[in-house]
Amino acid sequence: MSHSRLPTRQSAEIRQAEMVQAVLHLAARQEPASITTTEIAKLVGLSQGAVFRHFPNKQAIWLSVAQWLTANLLPLVQTAAQSSPNPLTSLATIYYTHLQFVQENPGVPRFIFHELQQPNDSPVKQEVASMLQTYSGILIGVLQQAKASQQALPNLDERSAATLFIGSIQGLVMQAMLQGSMATLEPMSLGVWDLYLTAIRQHA
């Protein structure tokens, strides 16, 4: 009996995943606040009524998008953090891995900025904030390793350095959004990374 339900469940999960991707696709070219369930339905080939069979409301779709982000970005960051015995090399890998993720998913930064601007403390905003907090924790760990191996300044404030790291990526993304193309991220990122590294590195 349970096996007969399995294809339906899989089909529902596939539809939900398609709707998450539809939101990110739409967010890449318009304000997330303006995205309608009608647009989402059209993009995945469903009726608007069918959308609400998979999600109770629009907020639930947004929460799934935030959960997708956590499930896809954080493992990349964690893997990059453990990619080298040299902590500064690992930091560089995190930096460029994150930028590549944004280039491949241009709707993501628009979605994040939109949610963090919301005045209410919604489940979606909490999910995004929690993801950024975990990300910061991973960075702090790598920065502590850099201090322990005397590669970073002995008096470095790891929490501030982690905030600056994430902030530098957000700043680059905002510049790219202003220029209308995530392709501009790469040339701008090199100088920003050099500045960051100069600021935290222990100098001989």
Residue 123 above 50 pLDDT? yes
Average pLDDT of the chain to the nearest whole number: 91
Q: Are 158 and 142 in contact (CB under 8 A)?
A: no
Mean pLDDT, range 104-125, rounded to an integer: 89
Q: Are 44 and 19 in contact (CB under 8 A)?
A: yes
Q: How confident is the model at residue 10 (pLDDT cuts 50, 70, 90)?
A: low
Mean pLDDT, range 128-139, rounded to an integer: 96
Mean pLDDT, range 124-153, rounded to an integer: 96
- Taking only the tens place, the pLDDT of each residue in 87-111 is 999 999 999 999 999 999 999 998 9
Residue 3 above 70 pLDDT? no
Token digits of residue 193: 């990374």
Percentage of the chain exceeding pLDDT 90: 72
Residue 151, classed as helix, strand or coil, is coil
Residue 6 above 50 pLDDT? no
CB neighbour class for 140 (10 Å; exposed up to 12, middle 13-18, buried from 19): middle
Residue 152, classed as helix, strand or coil, is strand
Tell me the torsion sign for CA atoms 108, 22, 69, 104: negative
Count the Cβ atoms, other than its own, within 10 Å of residue 165: 23
What pLDDT, on the 0 to 100 scale, is given for residue 4? Answer: 44
- Taking only the tens place, the pLDDT of each residue in 32-68 is 989 999 999 999 999 888 899 999 999 999 999 999 9
Among 135-139, 144-148, 177-181, 193-197, the range scoring the smallest mean pLDDT is: 177-181
Residue 134 above 80 pLDDT? yes
